[in-house]
Structure 1
Amino acid sequence: MADSVPSKAAADEPSRARGLTPRAKRQLLLGVLPVAVIAVALMASLSSSLPSARAPLTAATQTATAEVVADGAAPDGRGVEVSFTDANGEERTGVIVLARPEDIPDGAEIGVQYDPDDPASVYAEGDAAHLTVRNLLFGLFWVGLVLTVCASITVFRLVSRPRLRRRAATPATARRVRVRRGLSDRSWLVLDHGGAVSWVPVYWDEAISALPRDTQITVHGNPRRNRLLLPVIDGAPIWPSGVRRESAPKGEATQPPPLDPPPRKSLLRQFRGDAAGLLLAPLLGLLWAYTDESGVAGFLAATALSAGVLFWLPSIFGSDPTGPSDDE
């Protein structure tokens, strides 16, 4: 049967393969490190700011219906002067500070909360104090969500890829293809198994650059049924960076010639090549600050977190650090 496991193929793999640490494993660990550090630092900063932001609202335990006396007051025209009757029946005045200047007609009634020990401290739903607390909580939620998603995907890759070695081994003819789409380059192995062709995205390894075209290799997994396959080249497991396809991916495909010796590309050099995507981080920061109305602090936090995520993404999709200059 074409899909059966040829035990000889598995036995022919060099025993040294069991002791290899795939380059992809180190790439995944280093790729998630910046986003983890940035997220933890942001969560610590947001958490430390939350008690002081909540303190005045927590102290404002009394409520009343206030009447607007005037708007456009200090600071910066964001203040709204109001008058109200407190719980003791005394007339009080105070200033509600809004997030931005608004035109509120005199005589309008607003539900307020105030500190009984300091009735001049008046707050209303949607004012600057409430918005600050909301932004801090919203930021904590999103930063925690990003950290959870990035860490979970990375851990899943680290755990699931080695387990592919347990699948049945089968021979296949392989050739390497480099596909460029936009700013990203990815390595693909085109596997021919019994006349059927599969395209498998993989993490780059020196063994890929040295692979002669149409070389028979060992593949763990059924090329016709399994979505994830683990190619093994000269005993080195080549982790898949995605699921197999039956057709070529979109992008500019080239077939680099095999190189002996293969080019040595450190992970640091590979990360430098992937850094082009970081240029999008300030734009994402601006978008966040605009939609969230969190100002400069929100822009800086969102830019930092976006940079961490953009640095992490190539470690998940599997970038190819080689280029045309390496093919000569």
Structure 2
Amino acid sequence: MFGKRGRVAMPRPLRHGLATTALVLVVCGAVAAVSGYSLATERTPQAAGRALSGLIYPALIAVVVVAVGGWVWLRRVLLFRRPGRVCRLRRVRIQRGLLVRSWLETQESPRCWIPVFFEPELVTLPSPATARLHGKRLAAVEIDGVRLYPSGRLRTTQPLGRRGDNPALPDEHAPARARTAARWPRQLRVDSVLLVTAPIVGLFWVFLDDSGVFGWLGATAVTAFVALWWAAIRGSDPS
């Protein structure tokens, strides 16, 4: 896909991942700044210990998020340098728990399933479609010039969950649905269901750290944005 003046546009999944990573870093930085101020002003050892843990926790989260995200995308970008092979496949959506992902199911025997990051072109993809696969256990897919990056490893057994198949031919409303699904408010609305665990994690942190209301708020905020980042890394499908 190309942007203005023929420049290669940044893939949507990468933009999504970078945006959520930036949000995590901002929140972790804010929590660390508050904890650092508390550490400098507290006079009792217990309070200073709680402030120190509030400084270390977001710092570790930030390091893990950057390291994992960088490793994930470095591996995926390099996949298209590998030789490709032609195959026929269809797109399916599978919901497992709170997360919905797009999978590409090959039509050859033995069948395999490739989880991919969402691109709006998936909504209008006919079933089956001809594609070129790059890689083996971690396989990238190219269909009519559109690059689809894997959000996980190829599977040889059908993924568990509630399944929905693309129609053989997209209907007249498919392009409009694709444009709607590609919008960031839609993506955030879909991913927001994962935030339900954040207050629980915050309570668990308060139980361990005895840091009170402010500790709960900080842990809840960090966990909430990490959940959005995790949805991006796992290839959440907003369609």
| TM-score, normalised by the number of residues in structure 1 | 0.66
Measure, in 1, the Cα distance between the counterparts of 2:37 and 2:222. 18
Q: Is the 8 A contact 1:42 1:143 kept in 2?
A: yes
Q: 1:213 aligns with which of 98, 116, 127?
A: 127
Residue number in structure 1 paired with 2:231:
314
Q: 1:146 aligns with which of 58, 61, 83?
A: 61
SS at match of 1:197: coil
Measure, in 1, the Cα distance between the counterparts of 2:192 and 2:127. 31
C-alpha RMSD of matched pairs (Å): 2.0
1:249-292 superposed Cα distances (whole Å, 9 cap, x missing partner): 11111213242543212122111111112122122211211221
Q: Which runs of 5+ in 2 are unaligned?
A: none
**C-alpha deviation, 1:15, in angstroms:** 9.7
Measure, in 1, the Cα distance between the counterparts of 2:80 and 2:191. 29
Q: 1:33 aligns with which of 13, 16, 22?
A: 22
Give yes or no for the alignment of 1:283 onto 2:209.
Answer: no
1 or 2, which has the higher helix percentage?
2
Measure, in 2, the Cα distance between the counterparts of 1:31 and 1:291. 27
Q: Is the 8 A contact 2:38 2:48 kept in 1?
A: no
**C-alpha deviation, 1:196, in angstroms:** 2.4
2:195 corresponds to which letter in structure 1?
A: L
Measure, in 2, the Cα distance between the counterparts of 1:18 and 1:173. 30
1 or 2, which has the higher strand percentage?
1
Give yes or no for the alignment of 1:157 onto 2:72.
Answer: yes
Q: How does 1:83-232 map to 2 (within 5 A)?
A: 129-193=44-108, 195-221=109-135, 226-232=136-142
1:18-63 superposed Cα distances (whole Å, 9 cap, x missing partner): 824321111111121221110011111211221222xx4xxxxxxx
Measure, in 1, the Cα distance between the counterparts of 2:9 and 2:130. 21
Measure, in 1, the Cα distance between the counterparts of 2:72 and 2:9. 17
> Do the aligned partners of residues 130 and 245 (structure 1) sit closer, same or farther apart at CA in structure 2, a change above 3 Å counting?
same
2:93 corresponds to which letter in structure 1?
A: R
Question: What number of residue pairs does the alignment pair up?
Answer: 230
Measure, in 2, the Cα distance between the counterparts of 1:18 and 1:200. 28
1:233 corresponds to which letter in structure 2?
A: I
**C-alpha deviation, 1:203, in angstroms:** 0.8
**C-alpha deviation, 1:184, in angstroms:** 1.3
Measure, in 1, the Cα distance between the counterparts of 2:227 and 2:120. 25
1:320 corresponds to which letter in structure 2?
A: D
1:204 corresponds to which letter in structure 2?
A: F
Residue number in structure 2 paired with 1:255:
165
Q: Is the 8 A contact 2:2 2:9 kept in 1?
A: no
SS at match of 2:112: strand
Q: Which runs of 5+ in 1 are unaligned?
A: 1-13, 57-128, 323-328
Which moved further from structure 2: 271-280 or 168-177? 271-280
Residue number in structure 2 paired with 1:51:
40
Which of the pair has more CA radius of gyration? 1
1:167-188 superposed Cα distances (whole Å, 9 cap, x missing partner): 1111011101110111211100
> Which structure has more RCO (C-alpha within 8 Å, separation ≥ 6)?
2
The runs of at least 4 aligned residues of structure 1 exceeding 3 Å deviation read 14-18
**C-alpha deviation, 1:141, in angstroms:** 1.7
**C-alpha deviation, 1:294, in angstroms:** 0.9
Measure, in 1, the Cα distance between the counterparts of 2:85 and 2:64. 34
Residue number in structure 2 paired with 1:269:
186
| TM-score, normalised by the number of residues in structure 2 | 0.89
Measure, in 2, the Cα distance between the counterparts of 1:20 and 1:50. 44
Residue number in structure 2 paired with 1:234:
144
Which moved further from structure 2: 210-219 or 243-252? 210-219
